Amino acid sequence: MCGTGTCNTYTAEIHPYTANTGSYDVNETDIFWSTGTALNKRPRNGGQITTVISGHTDLRAVTAYGSDIFWASSGISTILPGGVFTNDTQRISNELPSKSLIITPADIFYPASTRGFIGYIRRSDGYAGLVTNNNGSPIVNAYVEPFVTDGTYVYAARDIYSSNQRPIVRAPIHGTTETVFVDYTPTNPVAAYNFTSLATDGANLYYILYIGAEPATNGVWRKPFTGGAVTQLVSSGTVTALTTDGENVYYAEPFTKRIRKVATNGGSPSTLFTESNTVTFRALKVIDQCLYWQSSTSGIQAIAVNP
């Protein structure tokens, strides 16, 4: 556990780096991760590795919610088709989320990777059947993962749009009316840009903006859910992932091989971790004053947020 200035560092021994960003998660007591065909767990403070389930194919989108663990897979051999599972029980059938799930007390939100939308199923229905926005229509077409929710709306970055400019849109969690929440007007009207790696503290949306034509604009930004002006928290050439605990925003810079943090109200960033090798960082998560991430060189790693 973290909180005394140090954390265990988890290596490829516990989790190999994979292309599936959401292939691990952390709850109060354990780390859960996919080997591709099985879901394993290990206490956060070290100890024995145990297998939660096995026999699945392409297991991904591992998401801890309280004492429950959810995941997606393309099925169990030829016996059970793909979908979303928890406790080895199928909750959503015939949909294989690409990388991420969002679990709330009321719903499971999932991106249907083969059909290009974000859908949901109500947990009050006993997880029975597939529900996509009441009428089968998509919430958000052509998304970028991960997506987030504030409990009222789902927010996602558009991946396919009428131009190279791809805004962040939002739609009601049980509706389909999509509106633009964050946009950008480049100096060159045809310059391409995109938003990636969204995060929320319940009051604000944090996101990464990248526009090659305007390097000073690249970095980490914040916009309140209630609207108003956007704020650039960090100016950085390339940021690949971020998360927040409501006090700080934590983000990854692969070119400088660093994990850094900045206060949610702005200020000077500080460095938490520097990798000696060329690295890609993914899937930042923060819990109990401990920051976790996936490293392409070392698997899952962790460090105290106040070392």
Asked if residue 51 is part of any domain, the answer here is no
pTM equals 0.87
Asked if residue 104 is part of any domain, the answer here is no
Bond into 97 cis (ω within 30)? no
Q: Report how many domains make up the chain.
A: 1
Q: What CATH number did the domain enclosing 279 receive?
A: 2.120.10.30
Question: Quick one: CA dihedral 163, 164, 167, 169, positive or negative?
Answer: positive
pLDDT in tens, 222-273: 999 988 899 999 998 888 889 999 999 999 988 888 899 999 999 999 998 8
Which residue segment(s) compose the domain that 262 sits in?
184-307
Asked if residue 171 is part of any domain, the answer here is no
16 band by pLDDT with thresholds 50, 70 and 90: low
- At residue 137, the pLDDT reads 54
Spatial distance between the Cα atoms of 265 and 103, rounded to a whole number of angstroms = 27
Asked if residue 89 is part of any domain, the answer here is no
Torsion of CA 265, 270, 274, 279, to 10 degrees: 30
CA distances from 159 to 109, 188, 265, 267 (A): 18, 20, 28, 31
Question: Structure tokens of 94?
Answer: 């015939």
Asked if residue 130 is part of any domain, the answer here is no
Asked if residue 222 is part of any domain, the answer here is yes
Instruction: Please give the residue that has the higher pLDDT: either 192 or 292.
Output: 292
